[in-house]
């Protein structure tokens, strides 16, 4: 809708749709960007979740999944050409439109998010403060009525779950 003039405002992920908007002919100076973090909404966007029963019955499986995921991101950041070739080939195999420049943009932005410049290691650690702030936002807008305890929601798993 935004790209066709149907709306003046849209929600876009910085690492994905924003780049698509630029590629459709908009210049950065034509857009007014509002970063949610600048307005007190710096909430985690993505995560790995499982049922309590899954974790209770298979904690090693959960640990291995988290560690493999993080090691996959680290490998992709260290070997971007190889990672992008794999992604593009898989997209083409599944008949998904593939754009190398866009995939390069997304990988670089994901590195900015997951492993910002100056950070020596990856981390999956969710602080209590960030968890509680995110929960207050969800309660205040009516998305949830109560916040599960931090210890019940977040269980640090594996070697990347350290502050």
pLDDT tens sequence across 58-116: 999 999 999 999 999 999 999 999 999 999 999 999 999 999 999 999 999 999 888 87
| 2 occurs within a structural domain | no
In a domain, 4, yes or no: no
Domain tally for the chain? 1
Whole-prediction pTM: 0.82
162, pLDDT greater than 80: no
Q: Does 158 map to a domain?
A: no
Domain holding 96, by residue range, is 34-153
92 part of a folded domain: yes
pLDDT of residue 136: 95
Query: Is 101 exposed, middle or buried, given 0-12, 13-18 or 19+ CB atoms closer than 10 A?
Result: exposed
Q: What is the pLDDT of residue 163?
A: 63
Q: For the chain, what is the largest distance between any 2 Cα atoms, rounded to a whole number of angstroms? A: 53
Tens-place pLDDT, residues 1-44? 898 989 999 999 989 999 999 999 999 999 999 998 899 888 88
Residue 131 lies in a domain: yes
User: In the predicted model, is pLDDT for residue 125 greater than 70?
Assistant: yes
**pLDDT for the residue numbered 121:** 80
> From CA 10, how far away is CA 128, in angstroms rounded?
31
Asked if residue 61 belongs to a domain, the reply is: yes
CA distance 148 to 131: 10
29 assigned to some structural domain: no
């Amino acid at each position: 809708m935004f790209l066709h003039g149907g709306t003046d405002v849209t929600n876009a992920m910085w690492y994905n749709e924003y780049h698509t908007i630029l590629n459709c002919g908009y210049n950065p100076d034509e857009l007014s960007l509002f970063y949610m973090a600048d307005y007190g909404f710096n909430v985690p966007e993505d995560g790995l979740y499982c049922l309590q029963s899954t974790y209770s019955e298979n904690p090693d499986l959960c640990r291995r999944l988290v560690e493999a995921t993080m090691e996959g991101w680290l490998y992709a950041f260290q070997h971007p050409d190889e990672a992008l070739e794999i992604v593009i080939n898989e997209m083409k195999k599944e008949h998904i439109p593939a754009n190398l420049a866009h995939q390069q943009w997304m990988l670089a932005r994901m590195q900015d998010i997951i492993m910002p410049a100056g950070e020596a290691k990856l981390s999956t650690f969710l602080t209590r403060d960030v968890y509680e702030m995110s929960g207050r936002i969800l309660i205040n807008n009516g998305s949830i009525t109560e916040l599960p305890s931090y210890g019940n929601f977040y269980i640090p798993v594996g070697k990347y779950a350290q502050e």
